[in-house]
Structure 1
């Protein structure tokens, strides 16, 4: 089964010692904010074990910062599951909410959302906490990455609503997936988790840009492999394996094998480029403090590649077999039990 697929990653990453402390507070916040609205929705959310993912991808965050990161972490996943193919106006509603999520970081801190629903209210609170203590440069970079992700998400929903989700070729899909996976802003949040910033000149270097893109490709393809059965169950064609099988007219196993090969190729190139980081630092003439920022920035990428991978192997979100209300919702074309786009 694709969720059981293993990759040989060349680095290990730690798990936060604050996992259980942060998990308890995060789950209370999820309920209090109305991000789950039923017992079935809460149980489904718990089965994903997103706190485990946050503890693996942000292992060096303080206990209280890990709570903030868990709270933010949940929003993209919950928002992603709001598409319902049986409601033709759903794409318009998702676009309206996405626009609100995009502009929130551009408004004065504490501004009340103009589109009010559980997702937008939660994001307004979390953004104020995420931005605290970070430079305007970092805030702008994060907001831009976050915006690109949400725009891509809306494009994905629109394609599905118009019955065009299965029209992308493999090259077009790979570039699109790089945006929909949402890794660039997630790596940016790694800086917030340890309260440092990668020097702007290093962040703008082609080597770092390519490493971040390769990390997004590696993680996006891994997620597609591990979530394949879930998305096939939902009739969701936004998946590397589905695109490969359709374009090459081979078997599902052939498509899975090729997806594995493509993922490993991205990972191998990333590792090769990572070895060139000291040369980049020399080229830019970075001092010791700046080099430390680059080192932690690279570690943030590693934490995401390995941490997300380890979580994907165990999460109930990608489980092949489901029963109960959550499974019924997915079979109906929807990933979430609860509607979070209405007050």
Structure 2
């Protein structure tokens, strides 16, 4: 499929710490036993998640960029464990997801009750990620993270039952499975600031975060639909449209592009309402600066994720890798990261 370009009227920088943090991160995923075989390591390299982190969190310090790369890996690698066809797999996914959800609600560093490479790594990463952030921020992040993980387990249940979602239900569901709300929260952690609570509760900011989540999720769907089609995974805007409209893939792609562009346009309009929101709330100079950084965190995710998705091997349609072979054989991933044994 030729590249589909979106017109995003802002650019975002790339972290100057990309290469140094990448080297440390690749050592860490081996040490944490998240990637063990050479095939899995080669596949992971093709995803280039360090670039994604460097584009979406461009102003993080060298140490924080390393932490954010590690966190990135957990969400993506957990997503690739969702092979519900194995006996008992859906229950194990739910058990691990619950453990990932409750980790931020416990005192930092507490050993997980469900032990596997993913949960052990998350305990370590959360202790670092939450360091220095207020309880308000930690609670907000934990809530967004929890909704994201619950949505993923719901997706497994739907697949097991053979159910499908219509367009409206899918669009609402996709906003949770894309995981952008907690990712934007992490943008505050990356620069050590916090958007004031009254701003987070304002309809303008709520609308901006939701519109950004939609635009990013749908752009990812357009980039990745061939991968989902290859895996027999219908959780994709293009495939939902094709099924519901009973149209060709090209027609479904065109409509998906239109829907995505509309959500991006709505986000851009909401951005113009930010000064009025700040005035309405009576924010001081420092609070307005925090709001502006919060807006930049959303922009970094919209454009940074888009630029990464154009080239990542994760969404490549035509490749003959070990991971592609695993998908064709009905396996969701190269390695099992949810069990205690190797």
Same fold (TM over 0.5): yes
| TM-score, with length taken from structure 1 | 0.98
Who is 2:150 aligned against? 151
| TM-score, with length taken from structure 2 | 0.98
Who is 2:161 aligned against? 162
Q: Is the 8 A contact 2:84 2:156 kept in 1?
A: no
Structure 1 position 185, deviation (Å): 0.1
Who is 2:68 aligned against? 69
CA distance in 2 between partners of 1:85 and 1:185 (Å): 25
The question of 1:89 aligning with 2:85 is answered no
The question of 1:291 aligning with 2:288 is answered yes
Q: Is the 8 A contact 1:85 1:333 kept in 2?
A: no
Who is 2:175 aligned against? 178
Q: Is the 8 A contact 1:86 1:332 kept in 2?
A: no
Who is 2:105 aligned against? 106
Deviations 1:262-305 (A, max 9, x none): 00000001001101101100000000000011000000000000
CA distance in 2 between partners of 1:233 and 1:113 (Å): 35
CA distance in 1 between partners of 2:191 and 2:246 (Å): 46
Q: Is the 8 A contact 1:198 1:294 kept in 2?
A: yes
| Residues 1-343 of structure 1 mapped to structure 2, 5 A cutoff | 1=1, 4-164=3-163, 167-343=164-340
Q: Is the 8 A contact 1:88 1:161 kept in 2?
A: no
CA distance in 2 between partners of 1:63 and 1:154 (Å): 34
Structure 1 position 325, deviation (Å): 1.8
CA distance in 2 between partners of 1:286 and 1:217 (Å): 28
CA distance in 2 between partners of 1:281 and 1:333 (Å): 51
CA distance in 1 between partners of 2:333 and 2:32 (Å): 16
Q: Is the 8 A contact 1:149 1:182 kept in 2?
A: yes
Structure 1 position 308, deviation (Å): 0.2
CA distance in 1 between partners of 2:248 and 2:197 (Å): 46
CA distance in 2 between partners of 1:324 and 1:266 (Å): 34
Q: Paired residues, what number? A: 340
Structure 1 position 160, deviation (Å): 1.0
Structure 1 position 334, deviation (Å): 3.1
Structure 1 unaligned blocks of 5 or more: none
CA distance in 2 between partners of 1:321 and 1:118 (Å): 30
Q: Is the 8 A contact 2:15 2:59 kept in 1?
A: yes
Q: Secondary structure at the match of 1:82?
A: coil
CA distance in 1 between partners of 2:155 and 2:188 (Å): 28
CA distance in 2 between partners of 1:251 and 1:88 (Å): 35
Structure 1 position 37, deviation (Å): 1.7
Structure 1 position 88, deviation (Å): 3.6
CA distance in 1 between partners of 2:46 and 2:131 (Å): 31
CA distance in 2 between partners of 1:212 and 1:259 (Å): 20
Q: Greater relative contact order (Cα 8 A, min sep 6): structure 1 or 2? A: 1
